[in-house]
Structure 1
Amino acid sequence: MLAAMPRPATSPSPPGDAPARDRGDACPGTLRLHRADDGSLARVRVPGGLLTAVQAKALGALSESLGDGELHLTSRGNVQLRGLGPDCGAELADRLGETGLLPSARHERIRNIVASPLSGLDGLGARDVGPWLSELDALLCAGGTTAGLSGRFLFVLDDGRGDVDALGGDVTLLAQDDGTALLRIGTAPATARIPGARAPRAALLAAETFLEQASGTGAWRVPDLPGGARSLLEEVVRRLREAGPGTVTTEDRACPPDSDGPATGVVTGPQDSAALSVGIPLGRIAPAQWRSLTETARHRGVGELRLTPWRGVVVPGVERRQAARSLDELGATGLVVGPGSPWTGVGACIGRPGCAKSLADVRAQAAASVGGAGLLPVYWSGCERRCGHPRGEWVDVVATPDGHRISLVRGEERGAPVSVPEGPGGLAAAVAAARRGRG
């Protein structure tokens, strides 16, 4: 019988020194494929998660013709193609370029931008951040120095509702009701209030200033900087004030602790239209499911899909009278279309057989232990790296050489782990008990 799940400590552990980097940034892209145990892997950056129906159809076709047939969503709203052959790189790049998914070979790995998925759709938020997204992506791809950013550096565009602000970006723009924007560096509470029209260029300036301060330090992201986020913000504010008109002030605004992202189901908007929000079990989309999504977007929506950082998909522009029927059709393919799904809150890394570092087939274990609705989120990891793990409060299940280790995580705080030995039975019950918050 599993002992009672220990609660996290009441205070976070002290921060350590900035991590030393003894190798270059090996983050995969579409021009730099990663060799995995199930073949090569390509990570296609999709800024803001925004795909046209034509681009979505092309991604599905590429996965079926060159890879394992499935599309794998990441925690940044990007797409991974797995099971690729060793010699497909040129064809993959050419076909992605034809659809506009590879606008700059020098910058393709640094186009890491997440945006509020429902921005401009549900009448909430302070502004539609779509124009910010387009401008910032164009500025990044045109910049000479921005190509030096690592593939891990993250830009966040929050429309004011606080959903993606909680993801802990390196540079965050947070829309305000008065038309201004707050610029956040890292997760520090200090922010700079700037005119909304200057927001994308301010984000670019912040990234360029980061590169200057990171030079020679091995820092890939803001938390790695020896001087920290506040020092970087102070320098960015100084440069913003010198660069042009418009009042730039500083104020403290705490970063939200966590967010679950858009609820699954029909999302109604201010006009006679709706959006469909669906979840993807374990972030892995089968060909038939992807075709259903792209056909829904093409025939009943505005020809667009929005991938979310919570491994979900939003289909905008569906007529309200068709929304319920369209949602049922997507649910029939195995997608999550309502909060009652047992898959809600269940995540896992790729695990075996795709990853050589993994100690277990954690996706199969997660599928066998989905439990029920209304439980704490759980994330299964095949090794200590915990690739793609969530933020906020969640149950951490890590494969070990002799079983699994389960602990409760709340932000930066982690409870004492409980070990579950290798063997039949017991694991699913232990995970279920942890997700209920008891032994």
Structure 2
Amino acid sequence: MPQNNKIHLSYSSHRDQPVVLIRFDYQHEIHERLKQFEGIRWSKTLKSWYIPEVAFDLHTFFEAFRGEAWVDYGGLKKERNILISKESVPNRPRYNLKAIKAQLTDDVHEKIQSFKKWMEQKRYSENSIKTYIHQLEIFFGFYASKAPEMISNEDITSFNNEFIMKHGLSPTFQNQTVSALKLFYERHYCQQLQLENIERPMKAKPLPKVFNKPDLERFFHAITNPKHKMAMMMIYSCGLRRGELVNLKLEHLDSKRKILSVINSKGNKDRIVPLSDRIINKIKEYYHTHKPEQYLIEGQFAGTPLTASSLQKVFEKAMKKARINRPYTIHCLRHSFATHLLENGTDLRYIQELLGHKSSTTTEIYTHVSRRSLQNIKNPFDDLEI
């Protein structure tokens, strides 16, 4: 085992929830293995990976890194060195995720695994599969005494009241549970449940956040690493999602036809995005300097893609260096691409195609944040002679 491969575990809190912090000096192998853990997240404020305490199992963690890294769990032996104040924590009962999933019967576990294989064969995204299986294991673990075919709409309503609401879980958790059950029962039980009658929480409809032009220029000027700048320029100039950028291969670029092919994107759809002469020149300059082998933006090792977490660090570092304090995210570059196109007079139908939106309704949200459209509205106050 390499002597430098050490992982330090300790208790902490994040957003008023108890978590286990996972800190280590960056090692690619450890980083990639950590990403496989269910529920693991990166916290910008804590500057650490963490797993909710209810989802953390020390024995499983040890086994995952046996022979690869030394796990220092001294911080878990002691009393919590960072306690959550009673005033900051809502008086909500906690649940033991491991114990709930352990209640699954062998028959139900087999059905869920069969459903997982079916989702994989249907080429659902890795995130969708992981989320749906997680929701099903919790739901059927909660109803371990009932066979799936005996579950009714009333049981789902009770689960919402007695588990989701009781533990203060999010509307997203509630929606994901209903969606997972809907697909599971369609697959295994020919839609015995009338899930269309299940009440779902109202969805929030926040407007997309858009970079203004001065902030955008400061952001790009703050990135000095050519590879990192190329990554961010591609996201903005082509309206790419983060996953589309990291999976972008050289074979997807056609400089002669001036197009970029986005392959197997969200919803398993392909689309074509035009490349401007300026971005083509930037790509050629970058290619001749860095000579990537397979992916346009490669990671630490040749032929491997840059990870989404590395891309996030690049973005955060550039934001900090540019001293931009607005709540922008990487995805805001895609929002900005769409909004700036609209402000330049591009038809909304073309923008829909460029972004790969299934419905024009999704694209129409950009009309609400287009500065030029808003400025064209004449305020009736201006007509008053006062």
- The structure whose Rg is larger is 2
Normalising by the residue count of structure 1, what TM-score does the alignment of the two structures yield?
0.27
More helix per residue: 2
More strand per residue: 1
Q: Which has the higher contact order (CA 8 A, sep 6+)?
A: 1
Normalising by the residue count of structure 2, what TM-score does the alignment of the two structures yield?
0.29
